A and B are shown apart, each in its own frame.
Chain A
Amino acid sequence: MTRAPAARWDRFWFRLCPPQCIALVRIAVGAWLLLIWTLRAPAIALHFSGAGLSIPALTVRPLWFPAFLWAPSIPLTFVFYGFLLFALLCITVGVAMRTSIFITLFCTVIFWNTSLWLFWTSYERIFVFLLAVLLLSGADRTFSLRQRIRKGRWGCAEPVSIFAQRLIAFQITATYVGVGWQKMVLPAWQGGEVMSYSFANRWGTLASRWILAWDIPMPWWDALTLGVVYFELLLPILLWIPRCRKWGILGGAVFHIAIAVLMQIWWFLFLIPAYLVFFEPESVERWYMRRRTSWS
C-alpha cells in the first residue's frame, strides 16, 4: 500500500520511454531558435556587441566574467554569433547535442549581458529553461544525425527517461495557469480596454486595426478579454486530458496564431509543437510506427 504511490510517482516522472516525442520537441526548439537568431542578424553588431547601443547589464563585472567578454568587439560578437547559429543547427539535426546546448547557453549569457536592459522577456527565459532541460533529456536518441552516424539510421531509437518531457509539460502548465491567474486579478485585465488598446498601440498590426475599424461595442471587448483569461486557465487542463487534447491543441494554435497576426508577438508560436509533451511517449511511438509502415 505504501509503495504504490511511490511507484506511481516514479512511473510518472522517471520511467524509461520511447524518445520520439522529446526528439520532436528538440527539433522544434532548435529550429525555432535558429529562425529567431537568424532574423536577428541585422541587429547583432548594434544590439549585442560592446560597440553597439547596448550597455552591460551587470553594473560591476564579476570576477568569473572574463574582461574580453564583458562588452565584446564586433568581430568577436560575430564569432559568438556564428558559433551560436552552428550550435542551434547541431541541436536541430541532433549531433553533439549537449556540447551545442552548452555553447548556446554560453552565448546566451554573453548576449544577455549586452542586451538585458533592452529585451529579456518571458519567452527568452522559457527557451533557456527548455535548453537546460534538453541537456538532460537524451533527445538526440532518435531522429538525429547522432543515430545516423552511430546506428546507421536517423530513426533508430533508444529509450530515454520521461523526466525531461514531464518537466517541460509541467512548466507549460505553470506558465498558462500563472498567466491566466494574474490576468484574473490584474487591474488592467478587468475590462475590454486591454484588448482594444492592445490592438491599437505599439503591438497593433494592419489586421488588428482593420478589426478595430468595425467599431465593436465595448461589451464584446469585455467578453473577449474574459474569454482569453478563462481560456488560458482552461488550456493546460485540456492538454492533460487525453480526450480533450485535440481541442486544447486546436485552441492553443488558434490563440497563438491570433496573437502573432494581431499583435506581432510571434515568439510563442513554438508552444504549438511543444504541446507534444502532453502526449504519452508510447502513443507517439505507436503513431510514428504506423506512419513509417504506411510510408514504406
Chain B
Amino acid sequence: MKRVIQNVGLFLYLLLTAAAFLYTMVRVRMPLIPWRALVYSYVMMAPYQGYEEVNADLYAEGLLPTGVWELIDLDTLYPFVRGEANFRRELGRNTYPTSDAEQATRDRAFAMRLLAVRHAAGRPYVAVRLSHDVWPVSLESFAALRTDLFLQRSPMLQIP
C-alpha cells in the first residue's frame, strides 16, 4: 500500500513537472492541471528571464504640515542588497503582472503603509506621494545618472 501511494505521488509530481516544462517551452497548458500548481512548478524553472536597459526606482515624498515635500529615504526602509531592495520596490509589477486597476490598488495600499510607518517613526506627514524614476545605466554606479539631466520622473499617486 505504501508503495502504491509513493508511486501515485511520484506520478503526480512527474506529471506536474512535465506540464510546467511544456508550459516553459511552448506556453501550452496541459488540461486538468491546476493553474496555481503549474505556476509554482514553472517559476522554479524560471529565474532571471529578462533584463532592463534603463534603471528604475520608486521615489517617495512626504508632505510636512508646513507645506514642504520631504524626500523619504527608501533605502533605509529596505535593508537588503541593492538589487533585492530595488526589486521589492517594484511592488510586484514584473513578478505578478495584473490589471492597471489592481496594480493601482496595490500601489495605494503601499502608500498608506508608508505613511503609517513614517508616522510611527515620528514624521508628521499629512500626505505621501509616489513617483516612478527612470534613468540610464552607467559604468560608474547604479545611481550615477539619477540626476536632473537624465532623470524622467512620472507621478504615480498621492494619498490621501
Contacts and interface: CB of A to CB of B under 8 A. Distances in A.
Interface string A94-117: 000000000000000000000011
B148 interface: no
A122 B21 CA distance: 15
Contacts of A14: 3, 6
In the complex, which of the residues A43, A117, A123 has the most CB atoms of chain B within 10 Å of its own CB atom?
Answer: A117
Interface residues of A, number: 55
Nearest to B81: A264
Given A174-B21, A263-B83, A202 B53 contact: no
Contacts, number: 139
A212 B6 contact: no
A200 to B, nearest CB: 4
Interface stretch (A62-70, A83-91, A186-194, A243-251): A186-194
Contact of A179 (B13, B47, B83, B138): B47
Given A52-B113, A119-B87, A179-B45, A186 B50 contact: yes
A182 interface: yes
Interface of A, helix, strand, loop or mixed by DSSP: helix
Contact of B80 (A10, A43, A197): A43
Interface string B35-73: 000001011111111111101000000000000000000
Contact of B113 (A53, A119, A167): A53
Contacts of A129: 44
Contacts of A170: 14, 17
B127 interface: no
B92 A117 contact: yes
B108 to A, nearest CB: 10
B30 interface: no
A125 B82 contact: no
Of B83, B117, B140, chain A has the most CB atoms within 10 Å of the CB of B83
A46 interface: yes
A171 B47 contact: no
A202 B3 contact: no
A38 interface: no
Contacts of B142: 201-202, 204
Contacts of A125: 40, 43-44
Interface of B: 3, 6, 10, 13-14, 17, 20-21, 24-25, 40, 42-53, 55, 77-84, 86-88, 91-92, 95-96, 106, 109-110, 113-114, 116-117, 120, 137-142
